[in-house]
Amino acid sequence: MRLTQYTDYSLRVLLYLAHKNDQMVTNSELADFYKISRNHLVKVVHNLGLKGYLHTTRGKNGGLRLARPAHEIVIGDVVRKVEPDFELLECFNTTTDHCVITNVCALKSVLIRARDDFLSTLDLYTVADAVKGMNKHSPEFKLIPITHN
């Protein structure tokens, strides 16, 4: 059971912007910091903008920042909005489902409850909670990109 890399990168973008507070950040800065393909990152950032999480300013001094305070951005909401689907079993997609027992099987409703509990737990945390350890002046945070080389 995994979330997609797309969701992983979306969360990383929000965390970095939260850590930078209200400073403008560029796609290149994000790509360099996380050592992620810029093309990949541009798509992630574009989608976060569409979903209302980012403000983008164009021009020479343009860039990205969070559209609202990090403590108002709930992790569960982000995951619901950026993860492509939550089709835990084949029967979750009624269009592509070929399972012959779908109509008489209780497994789907059990998995729906588990999925909802997963997301409800993520609803207890915000992006601000996730970056609490990222003290701006933490040498650890600044050194990590180097030590991982």
Residues that bind a second copy (CB under 8 A): 1-5, 8, 11-12, 15-16, 33-35, 75, 83, 85-90, 98-107, 110-111, 113-115, 117-122, 125, 129-135, 138, 140-141, 144-145, 148
Q: What is the closest distance, in whole angstroms, from the C-beta atom of residue 125 to a second copy in the complex? A: 5
Choose between 57 and 117: whose C-beta lies nearer to a second copy: 117
**Nearest CA to 78 among 2, 8, 19?**
8
Choose between 62 and 105: whose C-beta lies nearer to a second copy: 105
Cα 99 from Cα 80, distance rounded (Å): 26
Q: List phi, psi (to 5°) of 99.
A: -70, 130
Q: What is the closest distance, in whole angstroms, from the C-beta atom of residue 146 to a second copy in the complex? A: 9
Choose between 42 and 134: whose C-beta lies nearer to a second copy: 134
CA distances to 23, 45, 90, 148 from 51, rounded to whole Å, are 20, 10, 27, 32
Q: What angle is formed at CA 72 by the lines to CA 126 and CA 42, rounded to 5 degrees? A: 80
Choose between 77 and 129: whose C-beta lies nearer to a second copy: 129
